[in-house]
Amino acid sequence: MIIEADRGFDIIGDIHGCADELVKLLDLLGYKRQNGIWQHSKRMAIFVGDLIDRGPKIREVLHLVHEMVVKQAAICLMGNHEFAALAWYVIDHEGNYVREHSQRNEQLIEQTLQQFAAYPNDWHDFRQWFYQLPLILDAERFRVVHACWHQQTIANLRYQYPNCTIDDTFIVNTKYKDEVAFDALKYLLTGPCMPLPNGMTMTDSLGYTRNMFRSKFWQQNPKTFGDIVFQPDYLPAELAQTPLTEAEYQRLHYYAAHEPLLFIGHYWMKGEPAAITNNIACVDYSAVRQGKLVAYRLDDEKNLDNRKFVWVDCK
């Protein structure tokens, strides 16, 4: 993976099958379709993962991005949806699918399977390609990961998987707590969560009952649950005021303000794209659900600049 010093980078958020919007975004960013491949003479696209599921043109997105990657016009990272698509087919030591074929999981992958139903060879080939997608990109000056940069997990991952790509053993090992694969799925692809205290549950915006909520990993000295909850999950008001115990505080992950610029996707942000902190930007603004497909145009800035977000509205 070659990161040239004088190149600019366009970090592009979760696409989820929105091929028309992706073409519009690339056009807006000054990429041109040459010899069938979208490319830019001075810039490179970096996709944060989650190309598939939900949207109307998943095959088209995969063909477009795959061709860009092959021609080194882009780098693509793995998202939790690509991971789930691989795990859908992998059998664990007990003879079960690693990704349970439950109704909920089936709903999530349904669009992808339907749209590839008449193209089984393509779907097989794209899944083989997913095994080549790295979980992280560390360009020193900046970093990219689908959900959360967790340094200890990344150090352990690199030790066992120097390319930071996964295989079937890794997929099976995501079920075992003492394996690096477990932490990699939990932090890098899914993002840190906190259990609700005292066995409480809540109902999320999709109607599912949850006993966990997504927690911020950039909050300095949080005191209460309200300080660490990360939208779109909400917390009941009384819980938001509840102080964190020392044990809960110790479990929190913190990406410090002095660390390199970090780009993530995954979180279904809403509203006008803006950096989360001076050094963390999320480029997932809920494409598909009347959201936006978002890119951040990175040059050589040291701090993120909200004027450098570019986006197209999704239908």
Binding residues for Mn ion (CB under 5 A): 14, 50
* Nearest to Mn ion of 82, 183 (CB atom): 82
| Residue 254 contacts residue 192 (beta carbons within 8 Å) | no
* Nearest to Mn ion of 15, 310 (CB atom): 15
Q: Shortest approach of Mn ion to residue 81 CB, angstroms?
A: 6
Nearest to 39 by CA among 3, 7, 74: 74
| Residue 73 contacts residue 38 (beta carbons within 8 Å) | yes
DSSP 3-state of 299: coil
Q: Shortest approach of Mn ion to residue 238 CB, angstroms?
A: 31
Q: Shortest approach of Mn ion to residue 218 CB, angstroms?
A: 19
* Nearest to Mn ion of 13, 222 (CB atom): 13
Instruction: Report which DSSP code applies to 198.
Output: G
| Residue 282 contacts residue 306 (beta carbons within 8 Å) | no
Q: Shortest approach of Mn ion to residue 14 CB, angstroms?
A: 4
Q: Shortest approach of Mn ion to residue 191 CB, angstroms?
A: 11
Look up tokens 């259990």; give the residue.
195
* Nearest to Mn ion of 126, 267 (CB atom): 267
Q: C-alpha distances in angstroms, 229 versus 136, 216, 217, 219, 233?
A: 24, 6, 10, 10, 7
* Nearest to Mn ion of 60, 168 (CB atom): 60
Q: Shortest approach of Mn ion to residue 76 CB, angstroms?
A: 14
| Residue 137 contacts residue 77 (beta carbons within 8 Å) | yes
Structure tokens at 163: 């390319």
Specify which residues 39 forms β-bridges with.
32
* Nearest to Mn ion of 50, 82 (CB atom): 50
Look up tokens 């795990």; give the residue.
87
Q: Shortest approach of Mn ion to residue 84 CB, angstroms?
A: 11
Structure tokens at 91: 């059998």
DSSP 3-state of 285: strand
Structure tokens at 1: 């993976």
Structure tokens at 220: 């300095």
Distance, in Å, from the CA atom of 255 to the CA atom of 216, rounded to the nearest integer, reads 9
Instruction: Report which DSSP code applies to 200.
Output: -
* Nearest to Mn ion of 52, 229 (CB atom): 52
Q: Shortest approach of Mn ion to residue 282 CB, angstroms?
A: 11
* Nearest to Mn ion of 53, 183 (CB atom): 53
Cis peptide before 195 (omega within 30 of 0): no
